[in-house]
């Protein structure tokens, strides 16, 4: 197994290009709309789990209410495009900004709270958001939801074929990966790493914990909001059931399944856990049972998740450098 990781780590660039190429030609080879739809759904969950991983995995702040940001992004885009006729790109930007502000709002109590308390606060937050979605009729149309959300168009050209949506989604996924990776590889990533590792030691590195926790919340929320905005303009109908707290749990499971603190892990987790229930559809009522068993089995065999302890950067560095003393390295 180690040699597989080493091989992958050494050829990381090539692997990424091949994966991207495969994702790019996929809709040209497969035209089944159901498959394309599933792929887009996987893409949305990839974005959601990556953004949650940034917050929980890389900054050590548990959130059980991540789907609330997704919902806020979706409603923001839906209302702006339907009621104000805003261009879909602007809707997405607006969704990012609005959710990032809600991220700020939720991040503030997070500074005083940690661990379980934060988990409860985030859960409560997502319930409040859901109740607002259900009850604020004038804004959200309540349980009836918002339908007829305009489909995206650019320069008068409608981008509403399944393939167009697929490529848009792929673009957003790539964008999310690049943005999060760039943040993590910068001094901000190091600062978040110190907070995750040992908050009490972090401040002696000169890290302003307040600032970086808030930043993690805002960026993470903004990206989830982007996913929501895309979702709203894709399905063209949203209602509060899409943003219930079981969806938050699902995203958290994807992150844990793939490995806390692993970006490739989140991608794999999101894809696998979106597809498995669909593949098991023919088994009807046994579907969720099998799903549960797979998860329990996974946590027993590999509690850190698929790639939780696999850091490709470290593996690559170690294979390219000479081992210390020739004995210590592994």
Partner 1 sequence: MVLQTKEVVQQFGGLTAVNRVSMQIEDGQIVGLIGPNGAGKTTFFNVITGVNTPTAGSVHFMGEEITGIPAHEIVARGIARTFQNIRLFKNMTAQENVIAGMHTESQANLIDAIFRTKRHRTETLACEQKADELLELVGLYAYRYELATRLPYGHQRRLEIARALASSPKLLLLDEPAAGMNEQETADLLEFIRRLRGMGYTILLIEHDMKLVMSICENIYVLDHGELIAQGAPEEIQSNPRVIEAYLGKEG
Whole-number minimum distance, CB 74 to partner 1, in Å? 24
SS3 state at 238: strand
Does the footprint of partner 1 cover residue 328 (CB under 8 A)? Answer: yes
Nearer to partner 1, 151 or 318 (CB): 318
Binders in 258-287 for partner 1, by CB under 8 A: 261
Whole-number minimum distance, CB 206 to partner 1, in Å? 4
Does the footprint of partner 1 cover residue 93 (CB under 8 A)? Answer: no
Does the footprint of partner 1 cover residue 16 (CB under 8 A)? Answer: no
Whether residue 296 contacts residue 256, with contact meaning beta carbons closer than 8 Å, is answered with no
Does the footprint of partner 1 cover residue 96 (CB under 8 A)? Answer: no
Minimal CA–CA distance to 52: which of 223, 168, 175, 213?
A: 223
Given the rule CB under 8 A, which of 123-131, 151-159, 239-247, 312-320 is the region that contacts partner 1? 312-320
Residue by residue, DSSP assigns 2-45 as HHHHHHHHHTHHHHHHHHHHHHHHHHHH---HHHHHHHHHHHHH
User: Sign of the CA dihedral 267, 269, 272, 276?
Assistant: negative
State the distance between the two ends of the chain, measured CA to CA, in whole angstroms: 13
Does the footprint of partner 1 cover residue 197 (CB under 8 A)? Answer: yes
User: Sign of the CA dihedral 235, 240, 243, 244?
Assistant: negative
- Map 285-297 to HEC letters: HHHHHHHHHHHHH
Whole-number minimum distance, CB 6 to partner 1, in Å? 13
Query: CA-CA distance, 209 to 191, in Å (whole number)?
Result: 8
Q: Which of 189, 278, 298, 302 binds partner 1 (CB under 8 A)?
A: 189
Does the footprint of partner 1 cover residue 187 (CB under 8 A)? Answer: yes
Given the rule CB under 8 A, which of 43-51, 201-209, 268-276, 293-301 is the region that contacts partner 1? 201-209
Binders in 28-67 for partner 1, by CB under 8 A: none
Q: Which of 48, 169, 207, 255 binds partner 1 (CB under 8 A)?
A: 207
Does the footprint of partner 1 cover residue 11 (CB under 8 A)? Answer: no
Given the rule CB under 8 A, which of 2-10, 16-24, 166-174, 175-183 is the region that contacts partner 1? 175-183
Nearer to partner 1, 121 or 255 (CB): 255
Whether residue 5 contacts residue 312, with contact meaning beta carbons closer than 8 Å, is answered with yes
Whether residue 261 contacts residue 53, with contact meaning beta carbons closer than 8 Å, is answered with yes
Q: What is the largest CA-CA distance in the chain?
A: 70
Residues that bind partner 1 (CB under 8 A): 179, 182-183, 185-191, 193-194, 196-198, 200-201, 203-209, 215, 219, 261, 311, 314, 317-318, 321-322, 324-325, 328-329
């Amino acid at each position: 197994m180690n040699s597989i990781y080493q091989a992958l780590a050494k050829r990381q660039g090539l692997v990424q290009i091949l994966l991207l190429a495969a994702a790019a030609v996929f809709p040209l080879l497969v035209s089944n709309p159901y498959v394309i739809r599933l792929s887009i759904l996987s893409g949305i969950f990839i974005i959601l789990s990556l953004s949650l991983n940034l917050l929980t995995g890389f900054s050590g702040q548990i959130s059980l209410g991540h789907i609330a940001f997704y919902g806020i992004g979706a409603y923001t885009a839906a209302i702006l495009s339907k009621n104000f006729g805003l261009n879909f790109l602007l809707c997405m930007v607006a969704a990012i900004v609005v959710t990032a502000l809600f991220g700020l709002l939720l991040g503030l109590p997070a500074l005083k709270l940690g661990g379980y308390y934060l988990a409860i606060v985030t859960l409560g937050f997502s319930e409040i958001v859901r109740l607002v979605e259900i009850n604020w009729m004038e804004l959200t149309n309540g349980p009836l939801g918002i339908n007829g959300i305009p489909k995206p168009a650019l320069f008068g050209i409608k981008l509403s074929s399944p393939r167009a949506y697929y490529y848009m989604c792929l673009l957003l996924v790539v964008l999310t990966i690049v943005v999060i990776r760039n943040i993590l590889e910068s001094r901000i990533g190091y600062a978040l790493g110190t907070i995750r590792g040992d908050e009490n030691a972090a401040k002696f590195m000169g890290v302003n914990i307040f600032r970086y926790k808030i930043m993690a919340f805002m960026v993470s929320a903004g990206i989830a909001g982007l996913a929501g905005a895309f979702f709203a303009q894709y399905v063209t109908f949203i209602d509060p059931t899409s943003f219930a707290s079981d969806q938050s749990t699902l995203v958290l499971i994807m992150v844990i399944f793939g490995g806390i603190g692993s970006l490739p892990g989140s991608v794999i987790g999101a894809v696998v856990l979106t597809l498995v229930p669909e593949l098991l559809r023919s088994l009807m009522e046994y579907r969720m049972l099998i799903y549960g068993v797979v998860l329990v089995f996974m946590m027993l065999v590999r509690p850190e998740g698929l790639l939780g302890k696999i850091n490709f950067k470290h593996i690559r560095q170690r294979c390219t450098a000479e081992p210390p003393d020739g004995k210590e390295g592994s």
